Amino acid sequence: MTAVVEQPPARPKVKAGGGERGLIDLVLRFREAGILGALVVLVAVTTVINPRFLSAQGVEDIFLNASILALLAVGQTLVVVTRNIDLSVGSVVGLVAFVVGDLVSGTQHGVLVAVALGVAIGAACGLVNGLLVSFCGVPALVVTLGTLYVIQGLNHYIAHGEQISAAEVPGAILSLGNGDLLGIPYLPLISVAVMLAVGYYLRSYSSGREFYAIGSSPEAARLAGIPIRRRVLTAYLAAGVLAGLAGTLWLARFGTVVADPARGWELDVVAAVVVGGVAIVGGVGTVYGAALGALLITTIGSVLVVLKINPFWQEAIVGLLLLLAISADRLVALRLARVLRKRNVRHG
Amino acid sequence: MAEATGTVRGKGAGAGRFVRWDVVVTALLVAVFFGGVGISPDFGNTDNLSFALGDLGEIALIALPMTLLVVCGQVDLSVASVLGLASALTGWLWNAGWAFETIVPVVLVVGVVCGLVNGLLVTRLGLPSLAVTIGTLSLYRGLAYVVLGTEAVSQFPAQYAELTTTNVPGTPIPYQVALFVLLAVVTALVLHATGVGRALFAIGAQEDAAFHAGIRVKRIKLVLFVVSGLVAAFAGIVYTLRYGSARADNGVGLELAVIAAVLLGGVDFDGGKGTLGGVISGVLLIGLLRNLLMLNDVATEIQSIVTGLLLIVSVLTPRLAGVVRERRARRRPAAAPA
| A181 CA to centre of own chain | 24
Give the single-character DSSP code of A3.
G
Q: What pLDDT shows up at residue B94?
A: 93
Contacts of B78 (CB under 8 A, 6+ apart): B114, B118, B133, B136, B137, B139, B140, B229, B232, B255
Q: Does the distance separating the beta carbons of A154 and B146 come in below 8 Å? A: no
- Tell me the CA distances in angstroms from B57 to A141, B165, B246, B309, one per residue in order: 25, 11, 17, 23
What secondary structure letter does DSSP report for B167? B
Q: Are B322 and B9 in contact (CB under 8 A)?
A: no
Q: Cα–Cα distances in Å, from B124 out to A327, B121, B200, B291?
A: 10, 6, 19, 43
CA dist., res. A35 & res. B164, Å (int) = 47
Measured between beta carbons, the chain A residues lying within 8 angstroms of B265 are none
Give the span between the Cα atoms of A62 and A301, in whole angstroms: 9
Q: How far is A292 from chain B (nearest CA, A)?
A: 18
Element (H, E) at A164: strand A163-164
Stretch B113-135: mean pLDDT, rounded?
92
pLDDT tens column, B157-214? 888 888 888 888 888 888 888 899 999 999 999 999 999 999 999 999 999 999 999 9
C-beta atoms of B308 and A132 within 8 A: no
Report the alpha-carbon distance of residue B28 to residue A33 in Å, rounded.
54
CA distance, residue B232 to nearest chain A CA (Å) = 19
φ and ψ of A309, to 5 deg: -90, 145
User: So what's the pLDDT on residue A11?
Assistant: 46
Chain B neighbors of A145, CB-CB under 8 A: 256, 259-260, 308, 311
Q: Find the helix or strand (DSSP H, E) in which A330 lies.
A: helix A313-347
The distance of B159 to chain A (nearest Cα, Å) reads 33
Average pLDDT score over residue span B12-32:
70
pTM for the whole structure: 0.83
Rounded Cα gap, residues A25 and B169, in angstroms = 69
| Structural contact between residues A72 and A329, judged by C-beta atoms closer than 8 angstroms | no
- Measure in Å the smallest separation between the Cα of B195 and chain A Cα atoms: 28
Per-residue pLDDT of chain A (348 residues; tens, 9 = 90+): 444 444 444 444 444 444 555 666 666 566 777 788 888 888 888 888 888 888 878 888 888 889 999 999 999 999 999 999 999 999 999 999 999 988 888 777 788 888 999 999 999 999 999 999 988 888 888 889 889 889 988 888 888 878 888 888 888 888 887 877 787 888 899 999 999 999 999 999 999 899 999 988 888 988 988 898 999 999 999 999 999 999 999 998 888 877 777 777 888 898 899 888 888 888 888 899 999 999 998 888 888 888 888 777 888 888 888 888 888 878 877 887 788 787 777 665
Tell me the chain B residues in contact with residue A281 when contact means C-beta distances shorter than 8 Å.
128
Q: How many CA atoms lie within 13 A of A125 on its CB side?
A: 35
> Which phi and psi angles does A165 have, rounded to 5°?
-110, 145
Task: Please give the Cα distance from B88 to B60 (Å, whole number).
Answer: 21
* pLDDT tens profile B100-121: 999 999 999 999 999 999 999 9
Whether B309 sits inside 8 A of A146 (CB atoms) is yes
Distance CA B245, CA B241 (A): 7
Say what the alpha-carbon torsion angle A242, A248, A252, A254 is, to the nearest 10 degrees. 90
Q: Which residue of A has its CA nearest to B121?
A: A327
Least confident of A77-91, A267-281, B230-244, B296-310: B296-310
Q: Give the model's pLDDT for residue B273.
A: 87
Of residues B146, B260, B301, nearest to A316 (C-beta): B146
In the beta sheet, which residues pair with residue A258? Answer: A163
- The reported pLDDT for the residue numbered A193 is 94
CA distance B282 to B310: 10
From B256, which residue of chain A is nearest by alpha-carbon distance? Answer: A145
Q: How high is the pLDDT of residue B12? A: 39
Q: How far apart are CA B282 and CA B301, in angstroms?
A: 20
Lowest pLDDT segment from A1-10, B63-72, B145-154: A1-10
Helix (H, G, I), strand (E, B) or coil at B174: strand
Higher-pLDDT residue of B316, B1:
B316
pLDDT of residue B19: 67
Predicted local confidence at residue B13, as pLDDT:
39
pLDDT at B63 over 90: yes
Residue B177: closest CA among B83, B54, B69, B90? B54
Q: Per DSSP, what are the bridge partners of residue B167?
A: B174
From the candidates A284, A315, A320, A334, which should be mutated to test the interface with B, based on the most B CB atoms within 10 A? A315
DSSP A74-139: HHHHHHHHTT---TTHHHHHHHHHHHHHHHHTTS---HHHHHHHHHHHHHHHHHHHHIIIIIT---
Smallest Cβ distance to A139: which of B143, B260, B270? Answer: B270
End-to-end alpha carbon distance in chain A:
25
- pLDDT the model gives residue A346: 66
User: A264, A270, A268: which is closest to A285 by C-alpha?
Assistant: A270
ipTM, two decimals, is 0.80
Phi, psi (rounded to 5 degrees) for B214: 95, 10
Q: Round to whole Å and give the CA distance between A220 and A224.
A: 6
Cα separation of B87 and B89, whole Å?
A: 5
Burial class (CB in 10 A: 0-12, 13-18, 19+), B100: middle
What is the rounded distance in angstroms from the CA atom of residue A340 to the CA atom of residue A346?
Answer: 10
